Amino acid sequence: MKYTRRQFLSFSALAVAGVVLAACQPTATPTTAPASSGKEGTSAPSPTEATAAWDTSKKDKVVLSVINNYYTAGWKKMATDYMALHPETEVVVDVVADNDTYLQKMTTWLTADDFSQSADIVHINFAQGPVGGYSVMYQKKMAYDFRKMLDEPNPYNGGKKVRECFNADDLALVTMADGQYALPFDWVGIAIMYDKTLLDKNGIALPTTYEELDAACAKLRAGGMASPIAAASEASWYLSSFADSALRTNEYEFLVHPEDAIWDEATMAANRDFKFDENNWTCDRYTVMSGERIAKYKDEKKFTDPTTVAVWEQFANIAKYFQENYIAASSMEIQSAFELGKAAFFLSGSWNVGVLNSDIKEMGADGFEWGTMAFPPFANPPQGFQAKMRTLYVVGNTMGIILGQGEGDHLERVKDFYKFCYNPTGSQDIFETTLNAGNYVQGPPSIIGVKLSEELNQKLEGFVQKGAIKDTFGGIVGQDAVLASDKGQYTEYVNQLLAGTITAQEFCDKASPLFLASNADVIEKNGYDLDPATADTAKS
């Protein structure tokens, strides 16, 4: 007997619900959407005539550590193709099961006295947290500064400078005062996917304001839908959007100031006398946040100030429509609920668009019309909030280089493999191989010349923004800002807030010690004395 995709999901959900709820899944699920060319992968980029910058008579090994399904098939193909060109260098792709396991692995590697055991190329956004941030990594000479690579030729792109594959504005988004921690590979965003067929069936127009979204969810719940919004764990980024709405007019307070010890005119000129312009969401694209000023603000406000409470209150008002314990939910489980018509909205990341598009096609007549939309603006913003809502839209697959074996011959091999992947031909190959293998892509490509199918691009439109939130704002109000040992208690408090058993003020009072403990850890690791005018030294 042949089952439809919707019937199959129903049976699967019943069979594995207990397992999935208990399991720790990656934050994204596979996709089978075709790439624009429809080919089985493009040819590997060939190097221009150049002398290798390393001793080709010696064997060496480059290790790339990736999270399962994060372009895994593409990376493996690139490793194989590279070794065919450079048999003296072995490229090992270390695939780690999920986000939590990866974070644990990074913590073990990078907090040891000797970090030479670390992989060479890693998801550096996962690596920076355990050591106290990118600034600490650069002070300890732990991370490679890609500014050194930008004007080098890429032998796999006709000898053009590395920077020629990227928009200059995009490079700025992965550059800090201390260095550039990655080259941009793709974009990732958080938005709302909606089931238009289901909304139409219930006589609900697509919400264009926050208030209309609230009313739509209330109507659906009154009609028997327990959780109108299917929310994966990354739905917490909605909190960051509320924080951005409440804090962005005071952004200057959190920036590095000219009188600060770490001030650098070349990279921080945009900070001077900065004032947020609501008519230009890209106005703060180049501003540089001060970790020390933010840590001092948190220490003084203790996460119980009226603004922080109001942000959590607004988030709770809409998040009460999430399913119970959304923080622990996997994208796979929640996406299935949306596909089964158990929710009208799906709040998640751009990486789920490919598989969702493919799944609904497979449903045939059981499928539904769907689309994506950014977080809608307030019609009547609360006091202190701005009406328009920005959302997360940042560089996604941030692969950096760890200097575990220092500079020299080994680093040159690592850099060469990185260049082999980061060019129009190599990157296109990674995208296409990934899609053809049934894995997901995170979002639109960042490398100039790489294309996705028009159909996939249309579905990604709701995620794309010219001006995005500073993700720091979420942390300022406590978004997931807890030590690993406190995560369970934090989750319990969030669940109580969304269930309505405690108020936003009570939540902040309860969670304050957890947030402050995490902030104290950041202060200690960075060596902050909470006086921005004096220089600090990271803890050795």
- Which pLDDT tens digit goes with each residue over 140-197? 899 999 999 999 999 999 999 999 999 988 888 788 878 999 999 998 888 999 999 9
- Do 377 and 256 share a structural domain? yes
**Is the per-residue pLDDT at 15 higher than 60?**
no
Place 414 in a pLDDT band, splitting at 50, 70 and 90: very high
Place 365 in a pLDDT band, splitting at 50, 70 and 90: confident
- Do 255 and 121 share a structural domain? no
Share of the chain above pLDDT 70, in %: 91
Is 51 part of a structural domain of the chain? no
Place 38 in a pLDDT band, splitting at 50, 70 and 90: very low
Average pLDDT of the residues in 308-328: 96
For 129, the 3-state DSSP assignment is helix
Is 405 part of a structural domain of the chain? yes
Is 15 part of a structural domain of the chain? no
Most confident of 4-8, 129-133, 372-376, 410-414: 410-414
Q: Report the run of H or E that residue 61 belongs to, with start and end.
A: strand 60-67
Taking each continuous run of H as one helix and of E as one strand, the counts in the chain are: 20, 9
Average pLDDT of the residues in 376-380: 97
Place 48 in a pLDDT band, splitting at 50, 70 and 90: low
**Which CATH number belongs to the domain containing residue 107 in this structure?**
3.40.190.10
Buried b (16+ CB within 10 A) or exposed e, 102-127: bbebbbebbeeeebeebbbbbbbbbb
Is 18 part of a structural domain of the chain? no
Average pLDDT of the residues in 225-251: 94
**Is the per-residue pLDDT at 31 higher than 60?**
no
472: tokens are 């720091």
Lowest mean pLDDT among 245-254, 310-319, 439-448: 439-448
What is the model's pLDDT at position 489?
Answer: 97
Most confident of 268-277, 324-333, 386-395, 433-442: 268-277
Is 170 part of a structural domain of the chain? yes
Average pLDDT of the residues in 8-22: 33
- Do 343 and 241 share a structural domain? yes
Average pLDDT of the residues in 364-391: 94
Cα–Cα–Cα angle for 94, 480, 322, rounded to 5 degrees: 100
Say which amino acid occupies 506: E
Residues in the chain: 540
Lowest mean pLDDT among 166-170, 372-376, 445-449, 492-496: 166-170
Average pLDDT of the residues in 432-444: 81
- Do 373 and 279 share a structural domain? yes
**Is the per-residue pLDDT at 5 higher than 50?**
no
- Do 469 and 336 share a structural domain? yes
- Do 433 and 385 share a structural domain? no
List the beta bridge partners of residue 91: 62
Is 532 part of a structural domain of the chain? no
Is 364 part of a structural domain of the chain? yes
**How high does pLDDT run on average in the chain?**
87
For 143, the 3-state DSSP assignment is strand
Total domains present in the chain? 2
- Do 199 and 218 share a structural domain? yes
Give the dihedral of Cα atoms 422, 428, 434, 440; nearest 10 deg.
Answer: 90
Whether the CB-CB separation of 538 and 136 falls below 8 Å is answered with yes
What is the model's pLDDT at position 37?
Answer: 38
Q: How many angstroms separate the CA atoms of 439 and 426, rounded?
A: 17
pTM: 0.75
What is the model's pLDDT at position 42?
Answer: 57
Chain centroid offset of residue 274 CA: 26
**Is the per-residue pLDDT at 375 higher than 90?**
yes
Lowest mean pLDDT among 303-317, 331-345, 508-522: 331-345
**Is the per-residue pLDDT at 466 higher than 80?**
no
**Is the per-residue pLDDT at 380 higher than 90?**
yes
- Helix pair angle (5-22, 353-363), 10° resolution: 140
What is the model's pLDDT at position 20?
Answer: 29
What is the model's pLDDT at position 539?
Answer: 81
Place 210 in a pLDDT band, splitting at 50, 70 and 90: very high
349: tokens are 């990341």
Q: How many angstroms separate the CA atoms of 166 and 160, rounded?
A: 12
Range of the domain at 211: 188-392+464-526
Residues 6 or more apart in contact with residue 104 via CB below 8 angstroms: none
Is 194 part of a structural domain of the chain? yes
- Do 133 and 86 share a structural domain? yes
Place 540 in a pLDDT band, splitting at 50, 70 and 90: low
- Do 406 and 271 share a structural domain? no
β-strand pairing of 345-349 with 187-195: antiparallel
E strand segments, 140-214:
187-195
- Do 427 and 297 share a structural domain? no
Share of the chain above pLDDT 90, in %: 64
- Do 312 and 279 share a structural domain? yes
**Is the per-residue pLDDT at 35 higher than 70?**
no
Lowest mean pLDDT among 130-144, 147-161, 210-224: 130-144
- Do 306 and 271 share a structural domain? yes
What is the model's pLDDT at position 276?
Answer: 96
Neighbours of 257 (CB within 10 A): 17
For 89, the 3-state DSSP assignment is strand
